[in-house]
Amino acid sequence: MTRGTVLLTGGAGYIGSHTAVELLGAGWDVVVVDDFSNSSPVALERVAQVATGPSAGHLRWHRLDIADTAGLTSVLADEAVDAVVHFAGLKAVGESVAQPLRYYTVNVAGSASLLRAMDATGVRRLVFSSSCTVYGDPERVPIDETAARGASNPYGRTKLVVEDMLMDLAAADDGWQLLALRYFNPVGAHASGRLGEDPEGIPNNLMPYIMQVAAGRHPFVRVFGDDYPTPDGTGIRDYIHVVDLALGHVAALESSDDLPGFTAVNLGTGRGSSVLEVIAAASRAVGRDVPYQVVERRPGDVAATWAEPALAEKLLGWRATRTLDEMAADHWRWQSRNPQGYAGEGAGPPTPPA
Ligand SMILES: NC(=O)c1ccc[n+]([C@@H]2O[C@H](COP(=O)([O-])OP(=O)(O)OC[C@H]3O[C@@H](n4cnc5c(N)ncnc54)[C@H](O)[C@@H]3O)[C@@H](O)[C@H]2O)c1
């Protein structure tokens, strides 16, 4: 007897694959839809290998673009889906500035397509991957969910529009249970070293970049500014272990019955770490100093952001427990065992189980 069936859009991606493991382990059946535009089916093969146990649920997947409303409608009906977690989307801020229409199409029109399919099949429980980017340049830290929203780039605006769409839907029909989880900065990897972030090209984010420097793929980490008003002068962010984040989704699904309408909840640790603290943690994980050089500030970067995570504890009974050292150690294990990410193994077309 499983907990139910949950559909993960984008479930082969970084956060989706870790969430799939935790949901399967908690006894949910998991159905993934992904077009594999930024992921590999190998990740799902590994999810199935890692998520074992006497009460583990079953994993199935379909190669599908979320723009395909009819395809999504069939999957929701045929798989008897109870709830959806919507990860699928594009997430690179710089790319969103250069290609805004692509971002609005995939992130906004794609979400509308999913919601139409859910409406048509009577599936009314959704957990949406939102982001702390919806707080723009925050007026105060820690940031709680009542803080003003605003975004400074097209990627952030797509998250705002989807949150607005969910609010409007909840206002029009009280049958929906719509939860927007505002992630802070996910890092780390599954402790098995089998799953992790597999960025294409040069990573935009700090931890994957540091790990590639440690692996010898770049000469040093560029630290963008050491004259911010923070204790060591470098920018401060709230880094959260991806497994803690994944467990936040399990808690969200198990609490969403008690949360009708629209609710937005931060998923962060409540602790900020500076760039130099992250480099130091990575150096401890790797066992030698990771080289860095301080360069000019990047335009648009804010000095310090971290989450007020109390609402997640109150509503979902969840809080992050993993430390920065665990994030770095797990990230390094993944990076050092999979220097080519998933590309080194089983590359080729996906083979969905029957
Ligand atoms: N990683 C972060 O730092 C972060 C922070 C805040 C919010 N988020 C949000 O969380 C979600 C997941 O992020 P991630 O880091 O796992 O990204 P990811 O790129 O690893 O995963 C996204 C997945 O969606 C799939 N996908 C993309 N477009 C699709 C489409 N049209 N149809 C079907 N599948 C599609 C990709 O192939 C990929 O597997 C995204 O919505 C992202 O905006 C991520």
Reduced 3-state DSSP string for 312-345: HHHHHCCCCCCCHHHHHHHHHHHHHHCCCCCCCC
Residue 312 near residue 248 (C-beta atoms within 8 A):
yes
Question: What's the predicted TM-score (pTM) here?
Answer: 0.96
% of the chain at pLDDT higher than 70: 97
E strand or H helix that includes residue 74: helix 69-78
Q: Report the nearest atom of ligand 1 relative to the CA of 36.
A: 37
Rounded to the nearest angstrom, the distance between the alpha carbon of 13 and the centre of ligand 1 is 6
For ligand 1, mutation pick of 18, 129, 207, 237 (most atoms within 8 Å of CB) = 129
Question: What average pLDDT does the structure give for the chain?
Answer: 94
Residue 228 appears among annotated catalytic residues: no
Whole-angstrom Cα Rg for the chain: 19
Nearest atom (ligand 1) to Cα of 65? 32
pLDDT band at 88 (very low <50, low <70, confident <90, very high): very high
Q: Where are the beta strands (DSSP E) in 28-97?
A: 29-34, 59-63, 83-86
Domains of the chain in sequence order: 5-337 (3.40.50.720)
Q: Please determine, for residue 350, whether its predicted confidence score (pLDDT) is greater than 60.
A: no
Beta bridge partner(s), residue 239:
185
Show the tokens assigned to 170: 């909840």
Cβ atoms within 10 Å of 146's Cβ, excluding its own: 8
Residues found in the chain:
354
Q: If DSSP codes are grouped into helix, strand and coil, which group holds residue 289?
A: coil
Atom index in ligand 1 nearest the CA of residue 88 equals 24
CB of 129 within 6 A of ligand 1: the answer is yes
pLDDT of residue 347: 40
Catalytic residue among 155, 183, 209, 342: 155
- Give 2's pLDDT tier (boundaries 50, 70, 90): confident
How far is the centre of ligand 1, averaged over its atoms, from the C-alpha of 16 (Å)?
A: 8
C-alpha to C-alpha distance for 256 and 263, rounded to whole angstroms: 9
Q: Report whether residue 88 contacts ligand 1, using a CB cutoff of 6 Å.
A: yes
Q: What is the mean pLDDT of residues 269-274?
A: 98
More confidently predicted of 34 and 203:
34
Q: Ligand 1 centroid to 230 CA: how many Å?
A: 31
Rounded to 5°, the CA angle 333-283-47 comes to 20
Confidence band for 354, pLDDT divided at 50, 70 and 90:
very low
- Summarize the confidence of residues 261-265 as an average pLDDT: 98
Residue 91 CA to ligand 1 center (angstroms) comes to 6
